[in-house]
Amino acid sequence: MISRREVIKWGAAAPAFAACSHAAFASGVQGCDAFLLDQRFAAQVPQNHWGIPVMRFDGDVTGHWYQTIDPAWRQRGYVLGGITGSDALFVLETLAQQHGRRVVSRSQVGAADARGIAPVSWIIAPVHPSVVA
């Protein structure tokens, strides 16, 4: 189970990702094992930021799901942060729930487009005893 302290920490972190200032980002990603960036909304962050792998995609998360996230979510631990469209977050959140994980922090960081898709900054962490680190 993640602690209340960690939830609060991540709650503060997600908006910090969105600011994308290097300092804010550096403090925010602490505790994350990887970071997902939807290039439709956030393109500036370098590939490997403060030692945390940054996975980039354009709305379709299939490649990262298959290569990295699915294998990682079969193990214990693995906290994932991201700035993505709300559509991509819906996909990840639904998959997360099936793997004992939850969105522990989220904040919308921009207006929705005509299709109703807004950029969201979030953190998904393990919550079920079978997958917490």
Partner 1 sequence: MSVLPPDLDEAGFATFLEQLRGAVGADWVWSGEADMFPYRDSFSPVWNTGEERHASAAVAPADVEQVSEIVRIARRHRVPLFPISTGKNFGYGGPSPNVNGSVVLDLKRMNRVIEINEARAYALVEPGVSYFDLYREIQERGLKLMVDCPDPGWGSPIGNSLERGVGYTMPHFRDHFGAHCGMEVVLPDGEVMRTGMGALPGSDTWQEYPYGFGPDPAGLFAQGPFGVVTKMGFRLLPLPEYYRSGMISVPRRADFAKLVDHVNYLSDSGLIGEVEFGSPLSALMGDPQFLALATKTGGPSNAEMDAAAEAAGLHSWHVELQIFGPEATTLANWNYASDRILSDIPGAIAIAGDHFPLPATDDQLDNQTQPYRSSIKRRRSLGVPSLGAWKIVRDDGHVGFFPVLPRTAEAVFEMQRVLGDAMKEFPTLPPFFNALTMPLFWHTHTFQMVFAPSIKHDDPAHNAITHAAMKKCVAVAAQHGWGDYRAAPIYQDDVSDTYGFNNHILRRFHEQLKDAIDPDGIIAPGRGGVWPRRFRS
Which residues lie closer than 8 Å to 93 by C-beta, 6 or more apart?
A: 102, 103, 124
CB nearer partner 1, residue 73 or residue 78: 73
Can residue 115 be called a binding residue for partner 1 (CB under 8 A)?
Answer: yes
Helices (H), the chain: 4-19, 22-28, 62-64, 70-73, 86-98
The residue range among 6-14, 21-29, 47-55, 122-130 that interacts with partner 1, by the rule CB under 8 A, is 122-130
Applying the rule CB under 8 A, the residues between 72 and 101 that interact with partner 1 are: 87-88, 90-91, 94-95, 97-98
Burial (0-12, 13-18, 19+ Cβ within 10 Å), 43: exposed
* CB-CB contact of 38 with 82 (8 Å): yes
Site membership for partner 1, residue 31 (CB under 8 A): no
Q: How far is the CB of 59 from partner 1 (least distance, A)?
A: 6
Q: Is 67 in the site for partner 1 (CB under 8 A)?
A: no
Residue 10 tokens, joined: 């991540």
Residues that bind partner 1 (CB under 8 A): 59-62, 65-66, 70, 87-88, 90-91, 94-95, 97-98, 115-116, 128-130
